[in-house]
Amino acid sequence: MGERKIRNMEEFASVSGISRPTVSKYFHDPTSVRATTRARIEAAIEQYDYRPNIYAMNQNRELTKNIGVVVPYLADPFFGEIVRVIERRCIEAGFSPSLFSSHGSAEQERDILDTLRSLKPAGVLLAPLGRLSDKSAIEAFCRDVPTVLFDSNIEGMGESFVGSDNYSFVSQTVEYLSRTGEPPSFFEMKNPANPNANKRRRAYLDMMERLGLEPNVMQIDGTGWAFEEIGRQGALEILNRGALPTDTILCSNDRLAIGLLSACYETGHKVGRGPDCDLRVASHDDHPFSRYTCPSLTTAAHDYANVSGHSVETLFRLIESGGRFETREETLFSAHLIMRDSA
């Protein structure tokens, strides 16, 4: 173990008995060199613990092996889960993921795109803020950097979009709720940040019409990403007014539902589908905590594995295609209903 520290690729090449250009080739793609050569290089890496200087590696490369991953809000465990899958797959494929969170701020999102541009990534997976996003900044970014949007779509931007089919969420919950009890009212924010919210409202209205039922939308105040608190305040206001139009509430998303359930508990409204219950509550997303609400939340679940998996695969295809697709693809995965105790 008394080997002196290797300072650069030149030195490493000489101690490994391989020429520098071949070593360089190896680090760019280990499978591009002959198996025997590869074995010798890897033995030397093992022995000398050498890694190339990533800065020198990347400065002359038009595009790097980096992949940017941007999410709107990291304190939402939903994104924490997604990021875990994405990171793993990127690393397995030999890329280096760089993770960024906009933390709900459009300014931060712009800054992140700026940073990403100078990272010269091979590709970017971007879950935009939504309504608040600086559309022109994102558009300009997508022109320069191969980008796949996920989770929340912005029409026409990025080479591809991968997300969940909001209609599938809502059709399943509405169908189930109206089949097993009173038809649901819809509970949402008045000015939702996320475009999925609007799609869900429209899907709700559409489904109710299709079923010949009277729709009822409750829109509550509040801005920002503290959905639980917004849901709780909005629900308290409605419950205290005794203004519930039906005994069945369908929340736009689980985080609002978590706040609503807390308000129900506080005001003594028993939630569930038993005869002694005051109301039923269902929702969408299958948030990691929806299993632990009281009662546990009946919800429509994202196909987490497919959304994250297909986002990554699409990005890999995009990178292999040189960063552009002929036409913009949109892939939507269906939700599946998870029946728990709240409805």
**Interface contacts to DNA, rule CB under 7 A:** 7-10, 12, 17-22, 24-25, 27-28, 32-34, 36-38, 52-53, 56-57, 59-62
Residue 86 beta carbon to DNA: minimum distance, rounded to whole angstroms:
25
CA 271 to chain centre: 30
Strand partners, 163: 332
Cα-Cα-Cα-Cα torsion 290, 296, 301, 302, nearest 10 degrees, comes to 10
Distances (CA, A) of 39 to 36, 103, 117, 227: 5, 45, 36, 54
Number of H helices, E strands in the chain: 12, 12
Q: Provide the token pair at 23.
A: 């070593």
User: CB under 5 to 8 A by kind: which of DNA, its own copies, none does 240 bind?
Assistant: none
Cα-Cα-Cα-Cα torsion 276, 282, 288, 293, nearest 10 degrees, comes to -20
User: CB under 5 to 8 A by kind: which of DNA, its own copies, none does 252 bind?
Assistant: none
User: CB under 5 to 8 A by kind: which of its own copies, DNA, none does 91 bind?
Assistant: its own copies
User: CB under 5 to 8 A by kind: which of its own copies, DNA, none does 224 bind?
Assistant: none
**Which residue spans within the chain are E strands per DSSP?**
66-71, 96-101, 123-126, 147-150, 160-164, 185-189, 217-220, 248-251, 280-285, 298-301, 329-333, 336-338
Q: Provide the token pair at 178.
A: 């109206």
Q: In the complex with its own copies, which residue's Cβ is closer, 181 or 288?
A: 288
Beta carbons of 189 and 201 less than 8 angstroms apart: no
Quick note: the x/- pattern for its own copies over 324-343, rule CB under 8 A, is -----------------x--
User: CB under 5 to 8 A by kind: which of DNA, its own copies, none does 98 bind?
Assistant: its own copies
Name which of residues 57 to 116 contact its own copies (CB under 8 A): 57-59, 73-77, 80-81, 83-84, 87-88, 91, 96, 98-101, 103, 111, 114-115
Q: In the complex with DNA, which residue's Cβ is closer, 14 or 223?
A: 14
Q: In the complex with its own copies, which residue's Cβ is closer, 111 or 175?
A: 111
Q: What angle do CA 110, 198, 337 make, to 5 degrees?
A: 110
Residue 67 beta carbon to DNA: minimum distance, rounded to whole angstroms:
17
- CA 269 – CA 282 distance, rounded (Å): 15
Q: In the complex with DNA, which residue's Cβ is closer, 17 or 224?
A: 17
User: CB under 5 to 8 A by kind: which of its own copies, DNA, none does 9 bind?
Assistant: DNA
Beta carbons of 86 and 97 less than 8 angstroms apart: yes
Contacting residue, 295, 308, 312, 335, with its own copies by CB under 8 A:
295
Quick note: the x/- pattern for its own copies over 271-290, rule CB under 8 A, is -----------------xx-
Per CB under 8 A, residues contacting its own copies are: 51, 53-59, 73-77, 80-81, 83-84, 87-88, 91, 96, 98-101, 103, 111, 114-115, 118-120, 228-229, 232, 258-259, 261-262, 265-266, 288-289, 291-296, 341
